[in-house]
């Protein structure tokens, strides 16, 4: 049962990574990051069956941080959209040296 859960977690994580790498829309990239977080959560929950409740507690923390991150991240994306009228990552290169 754990093996299947971990496999699903790995598949979800991989989908998240590929989404981050290939997609250009900031919202979708952001959702892929959330997907990766939740894939990790899934493996935490699965492994807590073996190693005790610590994993489940950690999931609560991750979800809390993810909620905060979602709030800040979406705010930034909205702010960028207001500034540039685009959420395409190609148009966002403010970090350029």
Interaction site with another protein (CB under 8 A): 17, 20-21, 24, 29, 89-90, 92-97
Q: Which is nearer to another protein, 56 or 73 (CB)?
A: 73
Q: Which is nearer to another protein, 45 or 92 (CB)?
A: 92
Q: Which is nearer to another protein, 50 or 93 (CB)?
A: 93
Q: How far apart are CA 86 and CA 92, in angstroms?
A: 8
CA 20-55-29 angle, 5° bins: 10
Give every CB contact of residue 84 below 8 A, 6+ residues apart in sequence. Answer: 91, 92
At its nearest, how many Å lie between another protein and the CB of residue 95?
A: 4
At its nearest, how many Å lie between another protein and the CB of residue 60?
A: 26
Q: How far apart are CA 3 and CA 30, in angstroms?
A: 28
């Amino acid at each position: 049962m754990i093996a299947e859960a971990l496999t699903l977690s790995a598949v979800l994580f991989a989908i998240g990574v590929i989404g981050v790498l290939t997609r250009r829309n900031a919202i979708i990239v952001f959702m892929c990051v959330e997907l990766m977080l939740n894939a990790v959560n899934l493996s935490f929950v699965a492994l807590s069956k073996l190693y005790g409740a610590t994993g489940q507690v950690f999931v609560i923390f991750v979800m809390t941080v993810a909620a905060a991150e979602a709030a800040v991240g979406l705010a930034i994306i909205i702010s960028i959209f207001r500034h540039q009228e685009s959420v395409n990552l190609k148009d966002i290169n403010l970090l350029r040296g």
